């Protein structure tokens, strides 16, 4: 119901977003046999897509990366110039996991249609927070990670539009419409189904609540650091729960260590928060090394309260003062 697939057979259950992305991209390339595809992605994809693209390039496929602007929005003109007749396979995330920027996916599909391209989107970060209706989006495949919308960890799904050419990555018994062999994880599938049901029921009201809390946090920090706060991403066209900021002169890792787990945030994406280099997403957006090293990403969740937002702001403010006093 959350994705609005036309039939249940269009949804295959996986172990999570990473497997879904692998099934989509590797499966599409495997199906084309000896024909090498032209894979088109963006410079700000999650590693579970960008590393697949890197692997496919090593196996002889052509890979193009479309740049983004300073807000993290895909350059559609560059995409239009990059599209060719050479079996195009496009993978563009619906919403970025670090800065929250939502991509113009419907326009991507419109540009891709004359080239008979297969269009895949990683909606792991977006599902449950913004609409992920595959009908108006027009995509051929969509990946979903269960734990991002409060299902158990270890369950995900891949929407595959009927007629999309896709080869199996594994072979065995005919479970999942003969697309993914092996015994289904029934309990986790039920958990994902319930999480999706609740997410759809609460989508509008929860998005409004999260947006209000995120704005409260941003405006509060802006008041505390009026000359030093830098926002990363699009302030309007973004996920309702994601805030990526820098506080000038305060390194993100140092701030994270100073708050002493009173506030939990990341200094990059959660999957590579310990990396020494600045986030590849921020780098692709043109953020300087200095400002990127100061960046922190704060995500607000289903159970976050306004009082917790106020407490978090105080903790961050006190931590900044402690750092400046050293």
Digit-coded pLDDT (tens) for 197-226? 999 999 999 999 999 999 999 999 999 999
pLDDT tens per residue, range 54-81: 999 999 999 999 999 999 999 999 999 9
Spatial CB neighbours of 41, under 8 Å, sequence gap ≥ 6: 49, 50, 53, 63, 64, 65, 66, 90, 91, 92
Alpha carbon of residue 69 to chain centroid: 17
Give the pair of three-digit tokens for residue 211. Answer: 């947006």
Rounded CA separation 132/121 (Å) = 10
The pLDDT, as a whole number, for residue 31 is 83
Mapping DSSP to helix (H, G, I), strand (E, B) and coil, where does residue 68 land?
Answer: strand
Contact 65, 57 (CB under 8 A): no
Mapping DSSP to helix (H, G, I), strand (E, B) and coil, where does residue 79 land?
Answer: helix
pLDDT tens per residue, range 88-111: 999 999 999 999 999 999 999 999
Give the pair of three-digit tokens for residue 128. Answer: 């449950």
Q: Indicate if the pLDDT at residue 184 is higher than 80.
A: yes
Record the pTM. 0.94
Distances (CA, A) of 316 to 221, 227, 233, 241, 326: 9, 16, 21, 18, 16
Rounded CA separation 66/60 (Å) = 19
Contact 160, 140 (CB under 8 A): yes
Q: Indicate if the pLDDT at residue 269 is higher than 50.
A: no
Rounded CA separation 118/169 (Å) = 18
Give the pair of three-digit tokens for residue 86. Answer: 């050479």
Torsion of CA 14, 17, 22, 27, to 10 degrees: 50
Contact 26, 59 (CB under 8 A): no
Rounded CA separation 71/113 (Å) = 26
The pLDDT, as a whole number, for residue 177 is 87
The pLDDT, as a whole number, for residue 276 is 58
Q: Indicate if the pLDDT at residue 270 is higher than 90.
A: no
Distances (CA, A) of 209 to 97, 204, 213, 247: 19, 9, 6, 25
pLDDT tens per residue, range 122-181: 999 999 999 999 999 999 999 999 999 999 999 999 999 999 999 999 999 999 988 999
Q: Which residue among the candidates 132, 196, 271, 315 is catalytic per the annotation?
A: 271
| Residue 46 binned pLDDT confidence (cut-offs 50, 70, 90) | very high
Contact 88, 117 (CB under 8 A): yes
Question: Max alpha carbon distance in the chain (Å)?
Answer: 64
| Residue 273 binned pLDDT confidence (cut-offs 50, 70, 90) | very low
Mapping DSSP to helix (H, G, I), strand (E, B) and coil, where does residue 231 land?
Answer: strand
Q: Indicate if the pLDDT at residue 33 is higher than 90.
A: no
Q: Is 53 a known active-site residue?
A: no
| Residue 34 binned pLDDT confidence (cut-offs 50, 70, 90) | low
Q: Residue 272's CB: how many other CB atoms inside 10 A?
A: 13
Mean pLDDT value across residues 276-304: 93
Rounded CA separation 167/287 (Å) = 39
Average pLDDT taken over every residue of the chain: 94
């Amino acid at each position: 119901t959350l994705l609005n697939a036309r039939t249940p057979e269009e949804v295959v259950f996986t172990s999570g977003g990473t497997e879904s992305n692998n099934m989509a991209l590797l499966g599409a390339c495997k199906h084309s046999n000896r024909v090498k595809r032209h894979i088109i992605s963006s410079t700000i994809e999650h590693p579970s897509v960008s590393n697949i693209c890197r692997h496919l390039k090593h196996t002889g496929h052509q890979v193009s990366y479309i740049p983004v602007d300073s807000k993290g929005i895909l350059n559609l003109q560059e995409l239009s110039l990059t599209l060719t007749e050479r079996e195009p396979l496009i993978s563009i995330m619906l919403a970025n996991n670090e800065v929250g920027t939502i991509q113009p996916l419907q326009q991507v599909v419109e540009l891709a249609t004359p080239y008979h391209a297969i269009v895949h989107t990683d909606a792991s970060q977006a599902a449950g927070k913004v609409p992920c209706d595959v009908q108006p989006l027009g995509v051929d495949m969509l990946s979903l990670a269960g734990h991002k919308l409060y299902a158990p960890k270890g369950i995900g799904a891949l929407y595959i539009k009927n007629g999309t050419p896709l080869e199996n990555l594994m072979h065995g018994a005919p479970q999942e419409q003969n697309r993914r062999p092996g015994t289904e994880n029934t309990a986790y599938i039920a958990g994902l189904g319930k999480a999706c049901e609740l997410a759809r029921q609460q989508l509008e009201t929860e998005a409004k609540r999260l947006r209000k809390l995120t704005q409260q946090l941003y405006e509060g920090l802006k008041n505390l650091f009026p000359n030093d706060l830098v926002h990363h991403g699009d302030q309007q066209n973004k996920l309702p729960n994601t805030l990526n900021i820098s506080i000038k002169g305060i390194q993100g890792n140092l701030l994270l260590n100073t708050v002493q787990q009173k506030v939990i945030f990341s200094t990059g994406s959660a999957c590579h928060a310990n990396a020494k280099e600045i986030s590849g997403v921020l780098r692709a957006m043109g953020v300087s090394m200095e400002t990127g090293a100061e960046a922190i990403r704060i995500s607000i969740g289903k159970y976050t309260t306004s009082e917790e937002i106020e407490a978090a702001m105080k903790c961050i403010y006190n931590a900044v003062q402690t750092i400046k006093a050293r």
